[in-house]
Amino acid sequence: MAYQQKDYFFQKAKSENYAARSIFKLQEINERFKILRAGYKVLDLGAAPGSWSQYASTQVGKQGRVLGIDLQPIQLTLPNTMFIQDDLRKCDLEAILNAHQMPPPVDVVLSDMAPKTTGIHITDQIRSLELCELALATADQLLRPRGSFICKLFQSDEFENFRSSLRKRFGKVEVLRPKSTRKESKEIFFICLQNQNSKNFGKNSALR
C-alpha cells in the first residue's frame, strides 16, 4: 500500500521548514524523556534528509554540537551542525569527531537508520536489526557514561533479545511508538537512558 505522503505531519513539517515529518518523532521522544540539553554533543546516525539534526540543533543551542552521518548527502546548513556522507561500517567516527572539534565521548547517540525495504518482512526485519546492532556498537564506542541512546527497530521476533542487550548497558530502557508514526509502519523506538558504560575513550575502539 502506498504511503499517503501529504498527511498532517507532512504538511506540518513543510510549514515549519523541517526536512522531513520524522522530526515530530524525535520531538515527542525529547519532550517525554528530556534527552537533549543545551551544550550537548549529539551524534545522528542515518541523518538524511536531516530533520532529526535540525531539531537536535535547536535543542543543544550555540554551545552544543551535532554531527550527522549518512550514506546519502544532506543538503542543509546549520550553525552548530556538521554533516558527513560516509558508510558507518567503514569510517573512523572517533577521528571524524575529533577533526570537527567534537571529541568523544558524546552525550547522545540517535539512530533513525532504516534499511531499503524489500517488501519481504523477514528480510526487512533482519536488516533493521543489523542497523540497530551497528548503532549500539557505535554507542558502546562513543557514548559517555549516563548518556542516552535512541534507535529505531522494525518489530520482529528479535525484539526481546535486543531489548535484553540494551538493558545490560543502560539503567532505563523504554519503548515508544510516536504519534506521528504512519499507521502501516512496523517501526518502534528504544529510548535508552543512563548508559552504564565506564570505558576509557581513545585508542581501544570496537569499530576499528
Nearest of 85, 80, 93 to residue 40 by alpha carbon? 80
**3: in domain:** no
Which three-class secondary structure state does DSSP give residue 68?
strand
> Given the C-alpha cell 525495504, which residue does it identify?
117
Residues 76, 106, 131, CA angle at the centre, nearest 5°?
70
Q: What is the DSSP letter of 107?
A: E
Range of the domain at 92: 8-195
**1: in domain:** no
Full-model pTM: 0.88
**183: in domain:** yes
Q: Which residue among 14, 90, 116, 152 is the active-site one?
A: 152
* Number of domains observed in the structure of the chain: 1
Query: Residue 4 carries which side chain, given as an amino acid letter?
Result: Q
Q: What is the DSSP string of 157-206?
A: TTHHHHHHHHHTTEEEEEEE--TTS-TT--EEEEEEEEE---PPPSS--T
Query: Is residue 12 flagged as an active site residue?
Result: no
**Whole-number pLDDT of residue 2:** 41
**Whole-number pLDDT of residue 16:** 61
Walk along the chain (208 residues) and give the pLDDT tens digit of each residue.
344 457 765 666 566 666 556 788 999 999 999 999 999 999 999 999 989 999 999 999 999 999 999 999 998 999 899 999 999 999 999 999 999 999 999 999 999 998 888 889 899 999 999 999 999 999 999 999 999 999 999 989 999 999 999 999 999 999 999 886 777 778 999 999 999 976 655 443 334 3
CATH number (domain holding residue 172): 3.40.50.150
